Amino acid sequence: MTETTKPKIIIVDENDKIIGYKNRGSLDENDIYRVSALWITNSNGQILLARRHHTKVKHPNMWGPAVAGTVEESESYEENIIKEMEEELGIKNMEIIIGPKVKIDNQYHHFGQWYTLVVDMELKQFKIQEDEVEEIKWFSPEEFKKQFQEHPEEFLPTMKKYFELFSPHN
C-alpha cells in the first residue's frame, strides 16, 4: 500500500470528538488520536503482556498490553480491537467486555478505550504477529509488580497506571 491508500488515523479534540484524519507518521506533537487496548487475564489472575517488536518506532522491546492498536478512519474503538486481537494474537470470536476509557497525555496524546478478556490459553495456542510482537508472557500480579519495580525501563511508561486500573486489590 502506498501512503495515500493506507487508512488514516483519526484525530480528535479534548472531548474525543473527531476533528480530522492524518497519515500514520505525520502526527504533530499536539495531535490527539484514538487507541484501543485489551487487558487479557486468565482464571488464575495472571495478566498476558506482549513485548513490542524491536523495530517499533514507539517503545521498542517494552512490555505492554497484549493487544493494542491505533484506531483508523472508518473504524470504531471496538472494530479496531477485534481486528487487532486477530492480527496480533490470532484471537477470534471471543466475547470482550468494554472497560474504562482513559486519556493519556505524556510524550503522546491519545484516548485509550480499554476492553477486557478472560481466557485460559497456553502461550503456544496464541498466533503472534511477529512483526508487531517479540514475545508474550503470562505475569502473576506479584511478578508484574516485582519486575516493574526492579526494571521499569522494560515496560511502557503507562503500565503502572494500567495495572492499577485493572487490579484494584494491589
- CA distance linking residue 27 with residue 136, whole number of Å: 29
Q: What is the pLDDT of residue 55?
A: 82
- Determine the longest span between alpha carbons in the chain, in angstroms: 47
Question: And the C-alpha cell for 40?
Answer: 487479557
Predicted local distance difference test score (pLDDT) of residue 169: 58
Question: What would the grid cell of residue 141 be?
Answer: 500480579
Task: Provide the residue-wise pLDDT of the chain in tens; the chain has 170 residues.
Answer: 445 578 899 999 999 999 999 998 888 889 999 999 999 999 999 999 999 888 887 788 899 999 999 999 999 999 999 999 999 999 999 999 999 999 988 878 999 999 999 999 999 999 998 888 899 999 999 999 999 999 999 998 888 888 888 876 54
CATH number of 9-166: 3.90.79.10
- CB neighbourhood size of 54 (10 A): 9
